[in-house]
Amino acid sequence: MQLYWAQGTPNGRRVDIFLAEKGIEMARVNVDLRGGENLREEFRKINPFGRVPVLQLDDGSHLSESVAICRYLENQHPDPCLFGSTPETAAQVEMWSRRAEMNFFLQVAMAFRNITGFFKDREKVSPEWGEISQETAAQALPIFDARLGESEYLAGDAFSIADITLCCAYDFAKAVKVQIPTDLPNVNRWHAALSERPSFSA
């Protein structure tokens, strides 16, 4: 197996953290996003959407979408469990993962893409949309804070893929100047604890 990936990207980091939590060693192929290597025909054969990360399996087939990659790895390496171990906890993990992705990760990504214009050579950008996305991302944080006031981790008592998704977006949000509300005691407690994990600090 090998992972097509790009250093410094939030989706690449999601898979990096997941691999580290599982203790899986993986060969990586760095893809030059700035240079548009991911847009070339050769790369589109492995992901028609031209995005990283992409996991190449030993039979030569490919998987993209960070969570699909993590789910595959979860089945191959069930320990430690990061997708919930009972129907109830698995559903909580799914619910909070989707909430974190749609209400925060995606908004942060849209802020990055539309404000910085990093990918303006390949897509239309709208600074106004970027600013709206920045605000929408910030507005979601008190909801996550309230949740983290009820449980140690986002999806309950156990650390999961939902924490990885929210934390990668949270760290990236600071880099793209999302106005993080000042009164998020539970998010702060959770973030400090995750930052101590070797997988997050690597």
Ligand X SMILES: N[C@@H](CCC(=O)N[C@@H](CS)C(=O)NCC(=O)O)C(=O)O
Q: Which is nearer to ligand X, 51 or 99 (CB)?
A: 51
Binding mask 87-126 vs ligand X (x if CB under 6 A, - otherwise)? --------------------------------x--x----
- Cα 163–Cα 144–Cα 190 angle in degrees, nearest 5: 50
Residue type, 148: L
Q: Please tell me whether residue 51 binds ligand X under the rule CB under 6 A.
A: yes
HEC assignment per residue over the chain: CEEEECCCCHHHHHHHHHHHHHCCCCEEEECCCCCCHHHCHHHHCCCCCCCCCEEECCCCCEEECHHHHHHHHHHHCCCCCCCCCCHHHHHHHHHHHHHHHHHHHHHHHHHHHHHHCCCCCCCCCCHHHHHHHHHHHHHHHHHHHHHHCCCCECCECCCCHHHHHHHHHHHHHHHCCCCCCCCCHHHHHHHHHHHCCHHHHC
Q: Quick check: 130 binds ligand X (CB under 6 A)?
A: no
Among 33, 82, 108, 176, binds ligand X (CB under 6 A): 33
Candidate segments 6-14, 91-99, 137-145, 150-158, binder of ligand X by CB under 6 A: 6-14
**Shortest distance (Å) from residue 92 CB to ligand X:** 20
Out of 3, 17, 19, 52, the only residue in the binding site for ligand X (CB under 6 A) is 52
- Report, in Å, the least distance between residue 26 CB and ligand X: 15
Q: How far is the CB of 189 from ligand X (least distance, A)?
A: 27
- Which range in 20-28, 49-57, 137-145, 176-184 contacts ligand X by CB under 6 A? 49-57
- The answer to the question of residue 9 lying near ligand X (CB under 6 A) is yes
Which stretches of the chain bind ligand X, using CB under 6 A?
9-11, 33, 38, 50-53, 65-66, 119, 122
